[in-house]
A and B are shown apart, each in its own frame.
Chain A
Amino acid sequence: MPDRKKLTVSYAPFWHDGSRISTKHYHIMAATLLAVIAGLLRYGMPALGVLTLSVGSAMAWEYLMNRVTRRPVSIGDGNAALIGLLFGMLLPAVIPWWVVITGTFVGVVIGKQIYGGIGGNPFNPVAVAYAILMISWPVYFDFNAALVDYPFEFTAAYPLVLMKAYGSAGIESFSLIDLLLGRQTGGIGATFGLGLLIGGVYLMIRGFIRWEIAVSFLAGVLVSALCFNLYNPEVYAGPGVHLLTGFTLMGAFFLATEDSSSPVHFIPMLIYGALGGVLTVLIRNQGAHVDGVIYAILIINLVHPLIDKIRPKATGRVMHHA
């Protein structure tokens, strides 16, 4: 009788580069840490409370949905935690707990799970959550009102509001260095520009986000802001200010680059990112809203399947079809 050892049989390829979804999400979360820690130092325990509640509740919603829809438990892939973390980073440090939980519900359940979970969402779940909540309870998303009790050593008004109200003159008290180092009010993790930049560059180099999207998004912001600025410098602030205020850096590195809702081909990625950047500045300068990043990202998410059709023709083996 020949030796019958049970061998592992599977289909080619038999090698794998070792990457996995969870690794990627943990790295993205790690890349936010600089900005998150700066936010925690600035806003203290309330900010920690908001972030932990946001991450925790996002994971809880995911687990609950896994159970309800009877699908494999997927909180281990880190996606829910990432949604929670990014959502928390956009919030003001002082926000009622139920807003956070509602937000993660919208993000995880309505933004992602009802489309079939990871990979199925047509919009960035964080942007969906933020947009819906901002429209539903605008009062809690007013950074000036929310952060009124904090003693700041700098102008304690949200730069984008000042910009909207007073034009370039409104933000004269902020130098670009101040903005870069986070001496401005805003979301918990969205103000420390230097930290976000370092995190974003790290993710681009490691290949965890697509550099084409982030770079073209920032280029879109810079170029369109520069055009407005050249047209009327009194009313429209310069590109540097647009780059370092509001959610621009969060949007470029962490929101627009979300896998499922963004294109994968080279030219579409450039169009997608640039469109997002231009829309951001358009909404800020011309629209009714204070910050345009969230809406800009939802709009480019909407057009991504269309522009992703711009792609090179497959060159492979020609099949002689009958």
Chain B
Amino acid sequence: MIKRSFIGITAPRLTYEVIEEAPAEPMTVRPAKRITLLMDAPMEKTGGVLLKTGDAVQQGQRLQLFENNPVPCAISPVAGKIESVEPFLGIMERQMTAVVIALEGSEEQGRDAEFKNVFKSAGLAEADRFLRDLPGRPDFSVFNRPDRPVKTIAVMGTEQDLTAVTQQYVIQTNIAGVKSGIDALRKIAGIQNIQLVVYPHMVQVAGSSGAGIKTVDLQYPAGSTDMIRMALEAKQERNTEVAIFTAEAAVAVGAALQTGELPVDKLLTVVRKDGTRQLIKAPIGTHVSDILEAVRQNVEAGDRVVLGGPMTGHAVFSLEQPITPDTDILVVQDHSELTEFSDIPCTNCGSCVRVCPVNIPVNELVRYLDAGEYEQGAENASLFACIECGLCAYVCESRIPILQFIALAKHAVQRLKAAEEENA
């Protein structure tokens, strides 16, 4: 954890981790007994659910949750048998479905061939159907909006959060894979303007990717998706879109379209309690407990295990929770190191305002949110401009959980808007 520096006259500068020249091979982690796939849709008990307990699944098989809806789906990273299909409550009351697959049979068994039959002629429809749950979660739905055409594709060689080195590793060691991914994206989407976003020290390696190079500063949150999207959208016409793919997603798309086999292994950075770092490769859905065992990290009661980084991730409540296609980092914090939030009110010290990358009057916003005036906050204090980088809460002297306030307020306002639309 980076503490406040002695000199406090300027806003703190948090920088992304830089990967070493010749990084070590990632450690391969295999799930012990079962994996869990999270699907982003509420579990409907009424029927129409395609997945049943006891169904056998093959490695690489596309699992579709509902009969009539192709969207909630996942690619099974292992061969086995469905052990359970049950509701799962995600962050901010998100209704999801957890599909638990017990491992059965060896991995050398045949892989599912559904994609293999279509990959040679794959277009946007096939990509959207099969590739959306590859490692890095490539999102092709953005191309399906005629009112907001995509003008630029950004491939992110930068990290979403501090301490991660996942995307940098991909660029550093597999630029050929990134190149074939970029070519594949160009072919599928028919968009020529592809920008590879990297930190300044990676420019040389990134040069051979065949894409335009955009460099960003090492200062957090310059490398985050939202900052990149804002920078690129500013350069193009209004009402046009920037599609964002991580470097890992680009590699996965490229590999899938080249071989017809869907990649299922996720690369992620694990940061242990003592701050040491280990890159690992594990199938999507592998439980946190299996990963921690592999990297020899004990977890005791009261410790905190975070998926997705120290500034923007979310803490898991059970070690049986899985890694998802977009989990780039897993952080373990010792219980003695946790800082607690407090109920001291905002004293208007202004640290948050100085550190905010998008100029939100956080001091004012937090007063609206504290009073439950969410819509006022959205109107007068730019609630929805927030990119949720977490810096305000990081520097808050009163230790107010500002980011949680903001997330809750956004959630509440959106739910209200949705309800209004429904009743209109």
Contacts and interface: CB of A to CB of B under 8 A. Distances in A.
11 contacts: A2-B319, A5-B300, A9-B315, A10-B338, A12-B311, A12-B390, A12-B404, A13-B312, A18-B3, A207-B9, A314-B359
Given A9-B315, A117-B345, A316 B1 contact: no
A314 B333 CA distance: 33
A63 interface: no
A13 B394 contact: yes
Interface residues of A, number: 53
Interface in B224-243: 226, 229-230
Nearest to B312: A12
Contacts, number: 198
A14 B345 contact: no
Contact of B358 (A21, A260, A315): A315
B361 interface: yes
Interface of B: 1-4, 6-10, 12, 162, 226, 229-230, 289, 299-306, 308, 310-320, 331, 333, 335, 338-339, 341, 343-351, 353-354, 357-361, 363, 382, 384-388, 390-391, 393-399, 401, 403-404, 407, 417, 421
A263 B302 CA distance: 39
Given A119-B398, A264-B363, A7 B319 contact: yes
Contacts of B320: 2
B397 A317 contact: no
A87 B10 CA distance: 29
Contacts of B401: 10-11
Contacts of B230: 315-317
Contact of A18 (B9, B339, B350): B339
Contacts of A15: 1-2, 162, 310-311, 339, 394
B345 A8 contact: no
A72 B343 contact: yes
Contacts of A311: 359, 361
A169 to B, nearest CB: 41
Contacts of B335: 8
Interface in A263-320: 263-265, 311-319
Interface of A: 2-21, 24, 72, 74, 77, 116-120, 204-208, 210-211, 259-260, 262-265, 311-319, 321-322
Given A4-B318, A20-B397, A316-B226, A14 B386 contact: no
A7 B304 contact: yes
Nearest to B355: A17
B345 A120 contact: yes
Contact of A316 (B8, B312, B346, B360): B360
B23 to A, nearest CB: 24
Contacts of A318: 385
Contacts of A14: 304, 306, 310-311, 313, 315, 331, 333, 338
A270 B12 CA distance: 21
- Secondary structure at the A interface, as helix, strand, loop or mixed, is loop
Contacts of A8: 302-304, 315, 335, 338
Contacts of A10: 304, 315, 338, 341, 401
A314 B315 contact: no
Contacts of A265: 350, 353, 361
Interface hub of B9, B229, B310, B333 (most chain A Cβ within 10 A):
B9
B403 A205 contact: no
B348 A264 contact: yes
Contact of B385 (A74, A118, A315): A315
Given A12-B403, A210-B350, A116 B345 contact: yes
Contacts of B311: 12-15
Contacts of A264: 348-350, 353-354, 361, 363
Contact of A322 (B3, B301, B306, B417): B417
Contact of A7 (B2, B316, B399): B316
A9 B301 CA distance: 11
B317 A9 contact: yes
Given A16-B394, A17-B4, A314-B358, A11 B403 contact: yes
